[in-house]
Amino acid sequence: MLEGFSFLIGTGVCWAGLAAVTAAGAARNVPAARIQPYSALLVLAGFGWAALLFGGAAPSGGILAQVVCLMAAGACNYFMLNLVQLAMKSGRSGVVWAFTQSSMIWPFLMGICCFGEPAAPTRFAGIIVIVCGLLLFAKGRKDGAASGAWLLPTVGAFLLSGTAQCCASIPSYFQLPGMDPMRRMMLAQCGIVLAYLADSALRRKFAVPHFRAERKVWTLAGIFGALNLVALLLFYSGLNLLADAKCASAGYPVAQGLSIALFFLYGCRKSAPDKASLCGFILVIAGISALAASGISP
């Protein structure tokens, strides 16, 4: 179990890095809608072959539902980060990321309701504390005319993130042959690419990647892809280990709690948070800590 939690701590550090790349893209007018598919293409081109050659046994016939779940998780993450970047343009990056990542209450509830994980009172208390923290975030300082623009896309990102986490968690409860961390990661990347193609078709703004014209995009995409590759490998490996120990529901709280804390501190480097946002941050971290602790010892 300790090894699983060490993997999830590494995941949280990488996820904070992904948030920083997304915020950097917002500051430089580099859309997440380009960073994500480009990074997915880099990961697939560089490591997709490894998923086929060294990815364990061939997928079994009953694995199609898990393939769909993982690709759906990638697609949800694509649209989620697009909304996160839109909300970050309001200047409340730390609050936006904390609000969005608090969506790990959904896979936590899924583990209890659908997979028989213990429903300890401390778990529900942790969820209530997190919701109170989110309400304080929503009541936080309003910075001028753009201040209200962050809440609606952030709520949308919150819902999409929760859906993605539920979809990504399902294979860990079954651990079918052939669905190892490498293949799971590659399927999520395929979902990102498919979501980009669908989004581009709906917008009628499809663009063929061009390196010289988009060096700034490729640079951020390379950093994003490297962090995402490491994060997903660590996360799926850690989640499998926790599932074996009957505490998979603690996986997201540990990784995302660290991610929220690190990026919130990163966002405070330019301006101090208002009291409501700071109190919301403290409540969210306290609630996540309660969920993680109850997941370890229900």
> Cα–Cα distances in Å, from 139 out to 95, 115, 135, 193, 257?
11, 35, 6, 36, 21
- Would you state the structure tokens that stand for residue 180, as one six-digit string? 């190892």
pLDDT in tens, 27-41: 888 888 889 988 998
Domain ranges of the chain: 2-296
Q: Is the pLDDT of residue 15 over 70?
A: yes
pLDDT digits (tens, 9 = 90+) for 239-289: 778 777 766 666 777 788 888 888 877 777 666 677 877 888 888 888 877
Query: What is the three-class DSSP state of 211?
Result: coil
Q: How many CB atoms lie within 10 A of CB 58?
A: 9
